[in-house]
Structure 1
Amino acid sequence: MSIRLRIILGFLLTTVLLAAGIMTNAAFSLRQEAEDAYRTAVQRQLRLMGVYVTQFLHTAENNAALLAKDPDVAAAGDAFPTYKSTTSKSVFRHKDLSWTARNVLRKFVRMDKAYADYAEVYAGYEDGNYASSFDNAEVAPGFDMSRRPWYVARKASPEVCGISQSYLSYTGEMVFAVTHKMFDAAGGLTGVLGVDVSLAGLSARFKDMNFGKTGYFMLLEQGGRILSDPRNEDFAGKVIGQEVKDPGLEALLAAKDGMLAVTVRGVPMLATVRSTEFGWKIAALQAKDEIFAAAYADMRAMGLISAAITLLALGLSFLIVRSINRPLDKLVASARQIAGGDLSVQLNGAGFYGELAALQGALAEMVRNLKDMVSTAEQKSAEAEKQTSLAKAATQQAEQARQAAEQAKRDGMLAAAGHLEEAVAVISSAAQALAARIGQSDTAAGESARRLDEAATAMNEMNASVQEVAKNASDAARVSAEARAGAVSGADIVGKALQSIDQVQAVSLELKEDMTRLDAHAQAISRIMGVISDIADQTNLLALNAAIEAARAGEAGRGFAVVADEVRKLAEKTMTATKDVGSAIAAIQESADKSVTGMDNALKEVQTATGFASQSGEALRQIVSQVEAAADQVRAIAAAGEEQSAASEEINQSIVQVNAIAAQNTEAMHEAAEAVGHLTAQAQRLQELITAMQQG
């Protein structure tokens, strides 16, 4: 499998798997959100519908109870006619009835007209008597109200009030009856009152609650009769499982409260059931296609987007593969040419990027290196061939030179030996004469070096003595300068001490004045505290007198006695505090007196110290002048010693330099003697060589 196909399949597979995962998760989330939204909305509507139906039925029961508990209605049985003995149709006319009967019927008619959903208000009594809000109603022959099913059922029921099963009334509309027992004053049953409630109004309200294109509410009776179905009006009044054979509705009837999926007339739907306290069920149904329509639309949009992304990824992968394959094809073609030995291939960097650019650069570098290596090899081969030919020619020339040298050696050795013998004789004679002269010079140089060493030693000793004198003079000058500086510093310190003593004296005088003023203030405070103490004594006495007077007044003065006692306590506290403050002020006065006395003594001592410091300053000034004179004399001696030392040092340096020159001359004579000796030895060896050449 090629790289192109692998990359394309990798892109395609990754995109498809990613899109599939996103689609699956999104589909589940969208369906769940749609279902949750449906459940939330429908449950809220079902709760409202349940409240409405329950309130509707409670209102009917309350109205029936209102009439049934009316004593006039319960006891009016004898005022109404009975038809159980008739053999032909009769007409029930209000105008034919007694005043008592018409008075009761007015209550029936009033309630019937007050509620549009009420079809009829009626009553049946134990003797079969008949009463109805309908006027001019036809009555069948032998009609006995006490034998009607609703009458018998309510009479037999332990409950006073209840709702009957729905039925088709003689007017042709579906109704249900709310029946209520009637009792006399003694508690005996006198009859049953009934209110027929039409389901048409309830069905109309359910129809108004339709939602969406397929959503609606159904009202089911306990026995399975459909009381209201706005979307399937032909189901109204029919019983599920008998007249209506629909598995979805049968599952709906059997279901408990909650949500379930059903199929009604071939349409998949979601249904939510809620039961009322009267046993009726309210069901909300809506087609799944409508519930999930938005989710399906979003899923289709996501599918199209995923398909577009997949196609885009496929095109992008094709472009990427193409951008990779083109440079790779170029590199492969170039590599094949290089492998075939063609190094003239041109590797242009255009169209290469990233790692491919690096690979192209490496391949181009490899070609350049191969070209350089081939060129170098060719140059080395040419140089090797050239050097080989030169080596052969040099070998021939060397052989010829060797032969000529041997011949020349034999011919020239004898002639050279004669000339060398003459030169050696001259060199030997000159060397002997030079050796004699060098010996004399060496002896004279040695004597000069010895005399210069003695002179240098004497100058060094004299120079050391002069330097010592100069050093001692310098030290004396330095000590004199230090003594003078110390004396000057001492004089300055004494001056500063005099200033500080003057400041101390001034501060002491100010402090003495402050302490005097403090003593005066303390005495004033003591006088004030005496006045406060006297006031506190008087307050204490007044409070004591007030307490005595309050005690004499009895209950009337109890409150004033409490106040007087508190004032007395406050006066005692004031007296105690005054005593404490007086003691503290006395202590302050005593300390102030002692401080004033101490400041007087301190001022006297300061004046004495000022006199001594003045005398010390004068003595230090005399010492400074004397030290200054001695220092001038010492500095003169030191300057003379330094000049003498400098002159001695210059002479010593000159002797040292002369001595060094003499030593160099002596060393040069030794080296010359050694050279002459070596020359003599070489002349002897040359003589021996000449002798050997002449002999052989």
Structure 2
Amino acid sequence: MFRNLQLKYKLVLLFLLMALIVAVTGSFGLWSQARIGDLLALQKSSAAQEKLAVLMKVTLQGGRVNLLEAAMTRNNADDFENSKIDYELKRDSFDSYCTMLRKGQPKLHIPPAEPGSLLEQRIIKVVDVFHDFDQVALQILSVQEGLMAGTTTDDGKLSRLLREELPQVVDRASVSVDDLLVEVGSLAAKNELAASAIQKRSNITFLSVIGGAILLAILLGLFATQTIVGRVNLLMKSLKLGAEGDLTALVKVEAADELGRLGDDFNQMLEKLSTMMGKVKKSTGELGRIATSIQLVSRDVIATAEVQQHGIDETSAAILRINASQQGISAAVENLSSSSAETSSSILNMAKSIQGVALNTEALAGSVTQVSSAIGEMDATIRQIEQNANDLRSASVSTASSIAEMDSSIQEVEQNAQQTAEISARVHEDAESGQQAVQATIRGIQEIRQSSRSAAESINVLSQSADDIGMILSVINDVTEETRLLSLNASIIAAQSGEHGRGFAVVADEIRKLAERTSESTREIDQLISRVQDETRRAVEAIRGAEIKVAEGEVLSQKSGEALREIVGGVDQAATRIGGIARATREQARGSLLIRETMEKVADMVSQIAVSTHQQARASEQIMSEVEKMAELTVMVRDATKKQNADGGLISRLSEEIGAMIEKIRERCSEQAEGGEQIVEALANIQESTRHNLSSAKVMGDTLGNLSLQISTLEQEVVEFKVLE
């Protein structure tokens, strides 16, 4: 079915297949970008889970600090309520963090934990342990509230809760949160490995699709070359052989398209020309045989005329001796009568042969006319082929122009990709602004450090409440140890997060330094415990101010880190899309270059077809010229034959006259003696007639020689054609 399609439909179908290949490649590129976007979302969710785990750790320590503040409050009910409210807020925050980790939060890109997974088990354990911590915290708040209200005066239970049960549940909760943080980190590492593997497979698959598309395009090009260009070359070869005179060079027709119909027309033309040239060869052979026969007859006529001339000479001599030998005259008259009869018979045969030559010459003229008409039709067909080739060349030029426009469009796409790269550069500038925000966070943390120093100086002048201060020192030592562990965990998380964890690394370093300074302060407090009681309230206020500064620094650092992550994510997505656009643009540019080179080859082939067709038209014109010459030669042969026919009639009449004269001689032989003078006159007439006959015979011989020469010329022209059997 494809072979029988028209050439224009074949070309359109091939271009559609190329467009389909480009579309499939582009679609797969978009699919790969979507996969990469999913991988980025997965990594972002892992980072969010790690962040929640760290916040749970910080919230747990903050709740413990709030409980200690509430327990240290004596007569200020407002401070107690504030500490209690702060603890309840941190408890609710901790519960919400656990809920988000377990059930997920789409807005924060946090997926829910899989049922029965190790992550869910860790979360459930954290919830259970934190419930125990909350029960102890409620007991501490209840006992402290009773002490402040005066309903109870026994603070031993409060001391036991603070020194024994609270550190135990805090340690258990910290261990559970650390286990959860480790599990979240391991899941993040697994997700990162999975993302890397998926991205690698996507790249390999994408390269495979591109390679397959290139191979398919090459196969389509080879197929087009075999189905179109190969057939055109075969047709050109047959046309060249036909132009050289080989009328057996038929074209093998394999399809019913334009080239197939052109091949059929060319084969029909060769068959007609072959038939005509066969007839011309046959007629030329007949003309040669007829000319040979006429030449033989002409030689006989000349020989007879010479014999007749010799007889007349002898008759003249006999007449001179007529009186001497009557018998010799009678014998001579008999010989003359016999020769005259033979001459008349030969002349009649020659006249009939000349008439046959005239008829064959007329037939030859008709054949030449038919050949001229057929060659004229062939010339018109060749000119139509030349016109079609010119139209095809114009169409190829138009197609090449369209390909050039498509190439220009691809260049515009490349310019747009460059503009997108400039936008990406500006996004990097936004990332630098985010770095400035991180610097601001660092400055806020430095202020926190100054506040902590003020708190340490205030604590140095405390001199009262030795028992409470001892308890506080124990708690502070525990908090310092937990803070140091927290800073270590934060440093590990920051190292795992790479560029995204620089803000956490700075915070962890500052927390570590704060823990070290706190340890130094506790040692100084232990040395100056006699002055602690007077400055307790001032120390509490300083620590509260430090807590506020720490909270502000934490919020600021979180915002900065979030801004940096979003900016970096945007830059990564933009870079990925720019890379996809650049790859697609390069593929389209290579496809456009391949199509343009193919169209240039098609244009060259069409030009070659046009040149070959033009050469064939010139050869056809030469054939027409030779056929016209052959027609002229045929007319000349026909005129010469007519003239020879007329001369043959004259010879026939003269032969009849000679016969009549001989008859008179025979009749008057008896009167020779009395009519000698009449015989002399008759012999003179006979001599004249004989000379005329001899002259006519020689003219006929020359005419036959000319006819033979023309026939030889015609045979030489015709023999160059190779015809079908």
TM-score (norm 1): 0.24
Q: Which has the higher contact order (CA 8 A, sep 6+)?
A: 2
Structure number having the greater helix percentage: 2
